[in-house]
Amino acid sequence: MKKLISNPNFIYITSFIVPFLFYSLEWSNLYPRLGLNLLLFYLFTFVICIVLGSVIYFAKPFSYTPVTVSKWNSLIILLIYIFYFIEALYSRKIPLIGLIQGTYDYNEDTFGIPAFHTFVDSFDTFYCVYLFHQYVSSKKKHLLFLFFVCLFPFIILVYRANILNVLLGSFTVYLLSRKAISAKIIVKSLVGIVVILYLFGFMGNIRSGHGDSTFVPRASEATEEFMKGPVPNEFYWSYLYIASPVANLQNNIDYTITPNGDYFGFVMHECIPNFVIKLLQMRGIEFHQINPFLNVGTIYVYSFSYLGWGGMVFLFIYFVVLINLYYYALQRTNTYKVAGMAMLYNVIIFANFHNTIAYAGSSSQLLYPILFSIVTDKIIKRNTLKKLKKANLPVEVV
């Protein structure tokens, strides 16, 4: 099982099956009936990933590498806090305080400096996970403290998605660090997932329902069976968020009579990070939502609006090529390989909700392990050359 969870292709299969399991609960009357074509499309992607995953399984299996404690941790965390402080001055507001006072209107762009904020919160996500890898490697408790210090800004910003990214990435690091996945670990993991799903719903009720746990279920046409049933309403949030993207994708397929046919728009909006289209002020297209506030539809929803089934197939091939190339690139570094795998898994898993290639907040997380690796290699080579010169040993130029 360890080799299965250390393979990005098998992670794709596992993570993209989960929404269908949630979908089968049928807790909402909003969701349309799933069509055969959509199921066959997903089956096609799974078969391709099985083939690619098998190649990696035998040709380039992942090997876990522990890391040493970085002497730069405190300085980097201080810089992160300085960046957030600058953004708070720019925004003139603190989301959590405004939320408690009832004066904060939450949306993605209400805090931070445009573009700069994407860098800050994505880097914070990466460094949280990297700190956790250091903790797992050394078991030094002060690293766990630094981990929570690094995570704290996301609580202040009420960024549930970033908190989930950090927790999921840290969970990935933990699993990759284990020599084997025992039944005890599986049970503990399941209990932890249940707790996180409950807390996710609890925070959602505070932010969107002012503490009313029935607000969102009623607004999204929850079935009477669920409302009268024994399952706490907090878990409905997880059902809604995990299953609604597939519902939106199916709804978009049902109601899109003719795809847009805009190949240039497809490439610009679906295949490259969205900071480019923001700079160019390019407007995208809409898709047919099942509900006004359920606005995500997996990585594939817009590709169908642009180019139909062909767009979905192309985007899948593009996506799976990128994740496998990134996997191979990570094998060249030891220090940041594990944190990089965690970032890669986040990109794969959250592709169930939105296009993590186009969303710069997700795709930019992949840059830091590679960039840090390049910088570290250059520093090591420079220090090695200095030592060789001091010792009057021959220097080989590479």
Residue 364 DSSP symbol: G
**Per-residue pLDDT reduced to its tens digit, 266-310:** 999 999 988 777 777 778 888 999 988 888 889 999 999 999 999
Nearest to 154 by CA among 129, 125, 130, 133: 125
Q: How many CB atoms lie within 10 A of CB 169?
A: 27
pLDDT tens per residue, the chain (398 residues)?
Answer: 677 789 999 999 999 999 999 999 989 988 999 999 999 999 999 999 999 999 999 998 899 999 999 999 999 999 999 999 999 999 888 887 777 776 666 554 478 888 888 899 999 999 999 999 999 999 999 999 999 999 999 999 888 889 989 999 999 999 999 888 888 888 988 898 899 888 888 877 776 666 677 787 888 888 888 888 888 888 888 898 899 999 999 999 999 888 888 899 999 999 998 877 777 777 888 899 998 888 888 999 999 999 999 999 999 999 999 999 999 999 888 889 999 999 999 999 999 999 999 988 899 999 999 999 888 877 777 776 776 667 665 545 44
Q: How far apart are the first and last CA of the chain?
A: 40
Nearest to 266 by CA among 304, 212, 219, 228: 304
pLDDT of amino acid 398: 40
pLDDT of amino acid 54: 94
- Residue ranges in the chain assigned as alpha helix (H): 2-5, 8-23, 36-59, 73-91, 95-101, 116-138, 141-156, 160-177, 183-208, 215-219, 224-227, 234-255, 263-270, 275-280, 301-330, 337-349, 360-363, 367-390
pLDDT of amino acid 397: 44
Return d(Cα 283, Cα 3) in angstroms, integer.
Answer: 42
Here the tokens at position 274 are 């969205």
Rg for the chain, CA atoms, rounded: 22
Nearest to 69 by CA among 365, 381, 335, 376: 335
To 5 degrees, how large is the angle CA 137–CA 168–CA 236? 150
Amino acid at 238: S
**Per-residue pLDDT reduced to its tens digit, 45-62:** 999 999 999 999 999 889
User: Bridge-partner residues for 294, per DSSP?
Assistant: 291
Return d(Cα 130, Cα 228) in angstroms, integer.
Answer: 44
Return d(Cα 134, Cα 143) in angstroms, integer.
Answer: 7
Return d(Cα 126, Cα 123) in angstroms, integer.
Answer: 5
Return d(Cα 175, Cα 181) in angstroms, integer.
Answer: 7
Chain center to CA of 136: 21
Return d(Cα 198, Cα 211) in angstroms, integer.
Answer: 14
Chain center to CA of 363: 9
Residue linked to tokens 């002060």: 142
SS3 67: coil
Q: Is 111 exposed, middle or buried (0-12, 13-18, 19+ CB in 10 A)?
A: buried
Here the tokens at position 78 are 């201080």
Q: What is the pTM of this model?
A: 0.89
Return d(Cα 98, Cα 53) in angstroms, integer.
Answer: 47
Residue 351 DSSP symbol: G
Report yes or no: 147 and 135 within 8 Å, Cβ to Cβ.
yes
Handedness of CA 297, 303, 309, 314 (dihedral sign): negative
